[in-house]
Amino acid sequence: MLTHLAQSYGFAPLIPLWLLAGIGILALVLCAYAISRRTKGAILRLGAVLSLLLWLSGPQRLHESWHVLPETALLLVDQSPSMSIGHRAALARQAAQAMEQAHTQGLTLRTVPVRNSGHNGTRLFDALDQAAADIPPDQFAGAVMLTDGQVSDIPKSIPERLTPAGQNGEKTHLPLHVLIPAKGEETDRQLRILQAPPYGIVGQPAKLRVQVDDAGPGTTPGTQAELTLRVNGEEPLSIPVTTGTPQDISLPVSHPGQMLISLAVSPLAGEVSQINNQTITRMTGIRDRLRVLLISGTPNQGERVWRRLLKADPSVDLIHFTILRPPDKDDGTPLSDLALIAFPVRELFQEKINQFDLIILDGFENQNILPHAYLNNIANFVRKGGGLLLTAGPEFVGPGTLQDTPVGDILPAHVPLENGMVEQRFRPHLTPEGRRHPVTAALPGAPPTNADSAAQTIPGQWGPWYRALKPDTTHGEALMSGPDNAPLLVLDHVDQGRVALLLSDQIWLWSRGEGGGGPQAELLRRISHWLMKEPELEEEQLNASIAGGELTVTRRSTAAEPRHNVTVTPPSGAPVTLTLDATTASAQTRKTGAPEADGGQSGISTGHMAAEQPGIWQVDDGAHKAFAAPMPPDPQEFADLRATASKLQDMVSATGGGMLWTGDSASAPAVPQLQLADGRTLHGENWFAFPHRNAHVVTGRSATPLLPAWVMLSLSLLLLFAGWWREGRS
């Protein structure tokens, strides 16, 4: 009120202020003196002087001419994926166009489309804050949200943009109106995964925790529903569930590798959509602990390499024995002076041999340490599915060689006793099969196949070794070669198990950096895990993944001419043929950073096709199957698919706004009228209103005297004469 008066009235003194103040003070002093002398009429004379001084101060009324500024309201149009349900998008588009075309005097409507922001749901209030920042505060009138009500960033209090300061500094509320493109409250059933472990132990059940929730009018918890579960392409399993209650599901993990678990719940009658009735989770089957038995025939330089490698792997339980004193050694030392642990032959190779996943014989020379029956147990251990790795040195061509035992029947190479040892400087290199095999493909620093491994030094290639065995016969796959291109690393399948034979005992030189060193740790790790049947190191692999609506199929093979066609079966069940394109070795080495190879086949072929249909896609090459599933880009956006007023109702009520529904007619939705209002009611059955903010700009100012001169002169003379008259009556 005071501010308004100050803006409407002012003063324009006719004489300087100091003179005006001096006359006033002098008049007060004289009046006080006269009163002290009991002079009659002093008060009337003072009134005459003060009236004259009031006129001399020039009181005047101020007049402004100003131009009213239009107010701006925001129309936030929700264009998130949930708006694609039913006719929502069409209803929203028609309603937005109708409100944009309607003309309201003094009100400007600014449309702001709001799309999905990624993985955080629909964020309309963030968009409101950003869009309102460009509008002058005194011209911002409020906002209309055209949305299905599924907003993820609803604040706990009214946003600052909707609570501007009033003319007197007090906080006011600007209205937030909501228009929902639907007929009314909808129902929906949602399947949620509450807990899903990323890994499962092979042979042990994994536990999934899920919950089915019904939302909307007429729904109550405790309703019975049917949950269907399918792992990869296996037969589906039906499980009864109760809505509103967490449900634990025991899932068997039968094999290592990726598992796609598809879950779907029976639909709710009348629900708006079944998109969120199904979901997919991924789990990787792993072995509990990989048990490795390492037997070193004698103390050697590579022993420490093996221990460091296997001890560093948290998934490996290592048992290591080094034979320090072979049975044939007799130097007269009394047994009481020997501080050696007896080699537990019977316990390891008969009683507990089947508890191991891998046996490593490092420079092992039999020398009657293991009886014939125990060696036969090792061979049977491999045939039944175990892994065996041998690193061979001079002991392999001497007396007591393992080649002449039952173990020799499962070895992938035979070394002759005469001329079987080659002692010369050479650089190991990969064979063509080795460049395709996952165990050795793209090993760091792998030299080109056409390099002279004996003499030529190429930057980045592997360091030299100085001793190797030269076999006369091999079977299986030779992945590395040594002197005169003789096989150096040979892998083979034996019934259900696997065998690897490294025909040199000098791989430890790489760990010492000899001649630049080499990928000793990575190579041994890959060999060990291949022997323990790591899925990522299988020779024949078929993998599939879906990202961005595209299915990518990758097939790896060690065959010289792998298959190039696969059958893709989408969730709809109509199979199609996809042709895979081979990747050259040159292209593959560019991707991995390895040196350029010979340009031949890398063993990898890929193919792509559109895959937007939800569910599990199956890929089959005739021998292997792979599975993939698209994951929703924003799970929060599809968690609740109802059109509902429940989430925004409190915020709308707090701001004085209104909430209306368009109906379900896409051709003629019910659109509220927008208007400006002076009252407190800002919404009705078919209209939204915004308050007058009185925003304006001043275009001019004028002033008129508040006290005319003749009036003030007459008043002063009247008071002066009255004073004389009063003084004359004595």
- The confidence band for 207, taking pLDDT boundaries of 50, 70 and 90, is very high
pLDDT of 592 higher than 60 = no
Lowest mean pLDDT segment, chosen from 409-413, 642-646, 714-718:
714-718
Tens-place pLDDT, residues 72-96: 999 999 999 889 898 999 999 999 9
**Rounded to whole angstroms, how far apart are CA atoms 697 and 105?**
18
pLDDT of 289 higher than 80 = no
pLDDT of 349 higher than 80 = yes
pLDDT of 392 higher than 60 = yes
Q: Angle at Cα 370 formed by Cα 366 and Cα 373, nearest 5°? A: 130
- The confidence band for 346, taking pLDDT boundaries of 50, 70 and 90, is confident
pLDDT of 498 higher than 90 = yes
pLDDT of 271 higher than 80 = yes
The residue written with tokens 């039913």 in the block is: 86
Q: Mean pLDDT for the chain? A: 82
- The confidence band for 690, taking pLDDT boundaries of 50, 70 and 90, is very high
- The confidence band for 314, taking pLDDT boundaries of 50, 70 and 90, is confident
- Do residues 549 and 611 lie in contact, with contact meaning Cβ atoms separated by under 8 Å? yes
- Do residues 56 and 16 lie in contact, with contact meaning Cβ atoms separated by under 8 Å? no
More confident site: 725 or 372: 372
More confident site: 133 or 583: 133
What's 343's DSSP letter?
P
DSSP letters for 580-644: PEEEEHHHHHHHHTPPP--S-EEEEEEEEEE--S-S-EEEE-SS-EEEE-PPPS-TTTTS-----
Res 29: pLDDT = 75
Q: Mention every residue, 6+ apart, whose C-beta is less than 8 A from residue 156.
A: none
Beta-ladder partners of 531:
none
Res 1: pLDDT = 44
pLDDT of 133 higher than 80 = yes
- What φ, ψ does residue 73 adopt, rounded to 5°? -115, 150
Res 495: pLDDT = 93
pLDDT of 188 higher than 80 = yes
Res 452: pLDDT = 41
Res 591: pLDDT = 45
Res 513: pLDDT = 83
Lowest mean pLDDT segment, chosen from 139-143, 179-183, 478-482, 568-572:
568-572
pTM over 0.85: no
More confident site: 613 or 463: 463
Give the chain's radius of gyration (CA, Å): 46
- The confidence band for 708, taking pLDDT boundaries of 50, 70 and 90, is confident
More confident site: 683 or 364: 683
Tens-place pLDDT, residues 23-57: 777 777 777 777 777 777 677 777 777 777 777 77
Q: Is 253 helix (H, G, I), strand (E, B) or coil?
A: coil
Res 168: pLDDT = 57
Over residues 134-140, mean pLDDT: 89
CB atoms within 10 A of CB 147: 26
pLDDT of 457 higher than 50 = no
**Rounded to whole angstroms, how far apart are CA atoms 243 and 262?**
19
- The Cα-based distances of 600 to 266, 540, 572, 647, 683 in angstroms read 52, 18, 38, 61, 74
Beta-ladder partners of 62:
703
Reported residue count of the chain is 730
Res 225: pLDDT = 94
Q: Mention every residue, 6+ apart, whose C-beta is less than 8 A from residue 728.
A: none
- The confidence band for 335, taking pLDDT boundaries of 50, 70 and 90, is very low
Closest by Cα among 614, 440, 438, 446 to 543: 438
Res 588: pLDDT = 47
Torsion angle defined by CA atoms of residues 378, 381, 382 and 388, in that order, rounded to the nearest 10 degrees: -50
Res 382: pLDDT = 94
Over residues 154-160, mean pLDDT: 92
- The confidence band for 531, taking pLDDT boundaries of 50, 70 and 90, is very high
What's 444's DSSP letter?
T
**Rounded to whole angstroms, how far apart are CA atoms 54 and 50?**
6
Res 597: pLDDT = 40
Dihedral sign for Cα 231, 236, 240, 243, please.
positive
Over residues 131-145, mean pLDDT: 91
Tens-place pLDDT, residues 104-118: 888 899 999 998 766
Closest by Cα among 730, 708, 713, 705 to 62: 705
Q: Is 196 helix (H, G, I), strand (E, B) or coil?
A: coil
Sequence letter at residue 199: Y
Q: pLDDT above 90 covers what percent of the chain?
A: 35
Closest by Cα among 134, 131, 146, 135 to 107: 135
Tens-place pLDDT, residues 413-422: 999 988 889 9
Q: Mention every residue, 6+ apart, whose C-beta is less than 8 A from residue 356.
A: 291, 292, 293, 319, 381, 386
